[in-house]
C-alpha cells in the first residue's frame, strides 16, 4: 500500500489537480464544444504527461530534495523507493500518454505536451541551481496545460489561448517568489538560486510587483477576444487590486516570512477564482 502511495506522491497530486483544472478551463472557454468523453480524455492524458515530468524531476533532484524540510520526506530522499523505479515509472508515463495524445486528441496538443516536458526537465530543472531566471523558464511548462486544453478542442493555437497562457505564466512568478521568501533558508541550504537568496527581500518584492502589473494586463486580454464579459472584468480588476496591494505591503520593513506565507495562500485563491469566473461568465453569456 505504501508503494502505491509513494507512486502517487511522485506525480505531485496537488499539481496534477491544478493541471486538470487549467486544461479543463482551456477546453471550456474554447469556441468548440468538445464531447465530454473526449474532454476528460484530453485532461487525463495532459495530466499524465505532467506527472511524467514531475516524477522524473524528483528522480533528478532526489539529492536536493533531501536537503529541504518540505521535500525531505519524499519517497526517494527517504529511501522508501528505488530511484530506478521512479525513473521507469516516469518514462512509462510519457511513453503511454504522449502517443495517446497524438492519436486520440491531435498532434498539436501532443507537441505542446512534449515541449513542456522537455523545458521542465532539461531547462528548468538544471537551471534552478544556476540562475534565478529558472522561475521564468519554469513558468512556461506550468502555463502550457491551458494551451493544451484549447488546442484539444480547436486544433489550433489562437489569440485567446495565448491570453490564458499569459495569465498562468505571470501568476506563477509572485506565487513562487512568495514561497521562496518564507522558505528562503531551505532554498539556500539546498543551493538553489532564488531571488530572496541571491538579491534579498526588497529586490524580490519589486519582481513580484512588476509581474503583478503584467498580470493585470494579461487578465484583461481575454476581454479583447470576447472570452470574458462584465462579471469576469470586475473580478479580474478586484483580484488585480488585491495582488498589487499585497505586493506593496511586502515592501514594509517589518514584512517577512509571515507576510509571504499569507500572500502565497492568496495566490492559491486568485487563480481558481479568476479562471472559474471566466468559465461561468462564458456560459452565462451564451
**Residues near 149 by Cβ (< 8 Å), separated by ≥ 6?**
22, 23, 24, 25, 26, 27, 28, 30, 42, 43, 46
Smallest CA-to-CA distance from 247 within 195, 201, 192, 198 is with 201
**Backbone dihedral angles phi then psi of residue 75, each to the nearest 5 degrees:** -55, -40
**What's the pLDDT tens digit per position in 121-179?**
999 999 999 999 999 999 999 999 999 999 999 999 999 999 999 999 999 999 999 99
Q: Is the pLDDT of residue 231 over 70?
A: yes
Q: Specify burial of residue 40 (Cβ count, 10 A radius: 0-12, 13-18, 19+).
A: middle
Inter-CA distances, 72 with 12, 62, 67, Å: 14, 9, 6
**Residues near 199 by Cβ (< 8 Å), separated by ≥ 6?**
132
Smallest CA-to-CA distance from 34 within 103, 97, 104, 84 is with 104
**What's the pLDDT tens digit per position in 82-103?**
999 999 999 999 999 999 999 9
Which pTM does this prediction carry? 0.95
* Res 286: pLDDT: 54
Q: Is the pLDDT of residue 224 over 80?
A: yes
Domains and CATH numbers, the chain: 1-130+140-152 (1.10.357), 158-286 (1.20.120)
Q: Is the pLDDT of residue 253 over 90?
A: no
**Backbone dihedral angles phi then psi of residue 102, each to the nearest 5 degrees:** -65, -40
Gap between the Cα atoms of 267 and 273, Å rounded: 10
Gap between the Cα atoms of 113 and 111, Å rounded: 5
Amino acid at each position: 500500500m505504501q508503494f502505491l502511495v509513494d507512486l502517487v506522491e511522485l506525480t505531485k497530486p496537488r499539481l496534477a489537480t491544478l493541471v486538470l483544472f487549467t486544461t479543463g478551463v482551456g477546453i471550456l472557454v474554447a469556441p468548440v464544444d468538445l464531447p465530454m468523453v473526449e474532454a476528460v480524455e484530453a485532461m487525463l492524458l495532459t495530466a499524465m504527461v505532467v506527472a511524467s515530468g514531475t516524477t522524473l524531476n524528483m528522480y533528478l533532484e532526489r539529492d536536493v530534495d533531501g536537503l529541504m524540510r518540505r521535500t525531505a520526506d519524499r519517497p526517494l530522499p527517504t529511501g522508501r523507493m528505488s530511484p530506478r523505479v521512479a525513473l521507469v515509472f516516469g518514462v512509462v508515463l510519457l511513453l503511454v500518454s504522449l502517443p495517446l495524445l497524438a492519436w486520440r486528441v491531435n498532434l498539436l496538443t501532443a507537441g505542446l505536451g512534449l515541449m513542456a516536458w522537455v523545458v521542465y526537465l532539461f531547462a528548468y530543472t538544471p537551471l534552478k541551481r544556476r540562475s534565478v531566471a529558472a522561475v521564468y523558464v519554469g513558468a512556461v511548462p506550468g502555463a502550457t496545460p491551458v494551451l493544451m486544453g484549447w488546442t484539444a478542442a480547436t486544433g489550433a493555437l489562437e489569440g485567446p489561448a495565448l491570453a490564458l497562457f499569459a495569465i498562468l505564466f505571470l501568476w506563477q512568478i509572485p506565487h513562487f517568489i512568495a514561497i521562496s521568501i518564507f522558505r528562503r533558508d531551505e532554498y539556500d541550504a539546498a543551493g538553489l538560486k532564488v531571488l530572496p537568496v541571491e538579491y534579498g527581500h526588497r529586490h524580490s518584492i519589486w519582481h513580484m510587483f512588476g509581474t503583478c502589473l503584467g498580470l493585470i494586463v494579461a487578465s484583461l486580454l481575454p476581454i479583447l477576444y470576447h472570452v470574458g464579459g462584465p462579471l469576469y472584468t470586475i473580478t479580474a480588476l478586484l483580484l488585480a487590486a488585491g495582488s498589487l496591494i499585497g505586493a506593496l505591503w511586502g515592501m514594509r520593513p517589518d514584512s517577512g516570512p509571515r507576510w509571504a506565507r499569507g500572500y502565497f495562500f492568496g495566490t492559491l485563491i486568485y487563480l481558481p477564482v479568476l479562471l472559474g469566473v471566466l468559465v461561468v461568465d462564458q456560459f452565462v453569456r451564451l
